[in-house]
A and B are shown apart, each in its own frame.
Chain A
Amino acid sequence: MATNISNNPSRALHDGGQPSRVVASVRVLDVRKPCREHVWVEFDARSLPASEPGQFLQVVCAPDAAIPDHAVDWTEGRLPQLSGVDWQGRTPQVRRPFSIADRWTAADGGDRAAIISRAIGPGTRWLDNLQPGAMLSITGPLGVGFAIPPIGRPLVLIGGGVGIPPFLYLARRLLELGHRDLTLIFGVQSRDLMPIEVVASPAPDGAASACLRLPSGDAPPAIVTTDDGSLGLRGRVTDALAAWLKQRGESGRAALVYACGPEPMLHAVARQTRAESLECQLCIERLMGCGLGTCLSCIVQTPCARSAAGWRWTLSCSSGPVFDRDALIEFAH
């Protein structure tokens, strides 16, 4: 069986060095539902090369993978194996991108990583029903992650709904690096959609408190917003950022804001940070066929001096998914 080949990436062109990305089959170790609509899928990450917060994985979300990992059984006289065949043709044809939600060393020394999925279609519903022990086909790590400034600068991590996962990994990394001045602003529609543990009642006035516990066990200052007021501040993440800026006063002016979430939220944060003259990095998502820079579908407009129009298409899979706000035409003005 040729299955192992996919775990032996080409060394022909990079001279025996370690590859930065692989196509790998990884074992699922834990599947949990941290809230009503999200699923936390944890896997053995020993075959995954070193990764950065903000990078993503391309995951096959289909029974036995969208593409069979092996040739058909050639045994004569035997009926073909039909179980798992999708007669409705609803099997996703391409992989689905997921931010790396966390990566850590387990108590037993094992390399672990996780993604968080929200079931919205056949592929993500399949992920929802995964069992520990199952194999998951991943490609990664892919893309460019968050740029991290020197220690001392105030950092604000704004995650909205399905945009929260990359910040669990980023917060872990920032704390490991010695950053102490970081604040989480996590917004969800309602209490039962918060994908991480709530350990104390968050302040309804937008004051930061240690109310959320990250998978790492850390509980940095956090502000929670909900649309319906069922948890924390009733309102938007931009209301929370305004409250934070007011409370911090002059020291907040140097803040770097990271944001990931739905498009309207990203636009609102982009407008607000521009108005407040704050630096901002956005983690975006565009329809993606491959994640590897070949299908050319996940395009965003970026400034380009040598183009008559002043912009060009840039691939969010390989130049992103994290961009400086001002490097994205649609968010810069």
Chain B
Amino acid sequence: MMQQNLIDPALRTTLAGVPMVSPVLTASGTCGYGPEYAELLDYRRLGGFTTKSVTRHERPGNNPERIVETRAGLLNAIGLANVGVERFIAEKIPFIERMPTSVWVNVAGYDISDYTFVIERLDEHACIAGFELNVSCPNVKDGLMFGTDPRLLREVVAAARAASKRHPMIVKLSPNVTDIADLARAAIDGGADALSLINTYVGLSINAETWKPNIANVTGGLSGPAIKPLALFNVHRVYREVAQKANIPILGMGGIQTTSDAVEFLLAGATAVAVGTALFVDPTIPQKIAAELPAYLSKRGLSHVSELVGRFAFAK
């Protein structure tokens, strides 16, 4: 009975064929592997959970400092610190099996075989809803390559697609490109079932007293409310130029903190949204948004959240 009350039919939707009780997910790299928020965030209300990136080998990550606050944002360079796929299977999968939501495993790598290796190792696990390909981590050497070159991107997505026999594939795109629509097209050509928009913007923070960078990696990825208008634009552009025609759903993210933020991403063309950096401050935000969305829908005379997707009135 409790379970019934958690699910509002107006919010039920799907992402890449995966059913969701709400269109609000958590974004990779801001929610660990699951146990970290288990006591705070009600996973039953989530449309899905996206893990921290998993790579072929364990990675210690960058030296400190790894984050710095900026005006309206957070700059980070963690360096894909993660346990590696074998420890992920041994130590994290048992918890994920118990999580009452769809769990997307974010996969990162340096060459195509890194991606296919991780996906092949994980593909047999039915507790995984699918994969999110991180082709755009800006904080590791050459990490941007796949995400900025349409030909390479298509190649890595196709190889990853072929490596999974049973799971859908989301491709998370970088905004650090001239025209994100070209990359979206390449990802879809490669076989992407959905697109995550966007990863962080490359940024720099300098200490005017020491003349040194504020994070050890020098550059980092900017997230938080500072990038929300930029993220909205990218969602809008990809939806109008590519995704709508191709019937490929968009998972929108970038600075989402409130229900209003989430609605704006849906209006721009996202099918679902993910909360990222804001989880650091309040891990309960996704369930708050999921709880507030039905009231917004009924106030606007809408019966289902899908009626918001791509509906913003942008014609001049």
Interface residue ranges, A against B (CB under 8 Å): 2, 5-6, 8-14, 19-23, 60, 65-68, 70-72, 74, 88-95, 137, 139, 286-287, 289-290, 292-297, 299, 307, 312-313
Contacts and interface: CB of A to CB of B under 8 A. Distances in A.
Contact of B258 (A6, A21, A72): A72
Given A13-B43, A71-B296, A296-B81, A6 B284 contact: yes
Nearest to A311: B60
Contacts of B205: none
Secondary structure at the B interface, as helix, strand, loop or mixed, is: loop
A60 B284 CA distance: 14
B36 interface: yes
A94 B52 CA distance: 19
Given A2-B292, A67-B278, A71-B258, A292 B36 contact: yes
Given A5-B287, A67-B285, A13 B99 contact: yes
Interface string B13-54: 000000000000000001110001111111110000000100
Given A13-B98, A23-B284, A294-B31, A299 B64 contact: yes
21 contacts: A6-B288, A10-B41, A12-B42, A12-B43, A13-B38, A67-B258, A67-B282, A71-B258, A72-B258, A74-B299, A93-B69, A290-B281, A292-B37, A293-B36, A294-B36, A295-B76, A295-B280, A296-B78, A296-B81, A297-B65, A313-B61
Contacts of B43: 10, 12-13
Interface in B255-289: 257-260, 277-285, 287-288
Contacts, number: 147
Nearest to B78: A296
B283 A292 contact: yes
Given A10-B43, A294-B37, A296-B61, 13 more contacts: A2-B287, A2-B291, A5-B288, A6-B284, A9-B42, A9-B284, A10-B41, A13-B100, A94-B280, A287-B65, A294-B279, A295-B30, A296-B78
Contact of B64 (A23, A297, A307): A297
Contacts of B36: 292-294
B259 A21 contact: no
B162 interface: no
A19 B39 CA distance: 6
Contacts of A21: 39-40
A186 B285 CA distance: 41
A78 B290 CA distance: 24
A119 B127 CA distance: 48
Contacts of B89: none
Contacts of A11: 42
Contacts of B61: 296, 299, 313
B218 to A, nearest CB: 16
B73 interface: yes
The 5 closest A-B pairs by CB, nearest first: A89-B71, A290-B280, A71-B259, A10-B42, A13-B38
Interface of B: 30-32, 36-44, 52, 60-61, 64-67, 69-74, 76, 78, 81, 98-100, 224, 257-260, 277-285, 287-288, 291-292, 296, 299
Contacts of A307: 60
A91 B257 CA distance: 14
Contacts of B73: 93
Contacts of B283: 23, 292
Contacts of B41: 9-10
Contact of A93 (B44, B72, B99): B72
B296 A20 contact: no
A253 B99 CA distance: 50
Given A23-B283, A287-B64, A2 B288 contact: yes
B279 A67 contact: no
B39 A20 contact: yes
B14 to A, nearest CB: 22
Nearest to B257: A67
A80 B223 CA distance: 25
Contact of B292 (A71, A286, A293): A71
B259 A289 contact: no
A203 to B, nearest CB: 40
Nearest to B68: A287
Contact of B38 (A10, A68, A312): A10
Contacts of A71: 258-260, 292, 296
Contact of A9 (B32, B39, B64, B81): B39
A92 B291 contact: no
Nearest to A317: B36
Nearest to B44: A12
Contacts of B277: 93
Nearest to B223: A93
B134 to A, nearest CB: 15
Nearest to B60: A313
Among A13, A14, A88, A139, chain B packs the most CB atoms within 10 A around the CB of A13
Given A74-B299, A312-B60, A294 B32 contact: yes
A299 B66 contact: yes
A294 B78 CA distance: 11
A12 B40 CA distance: 10
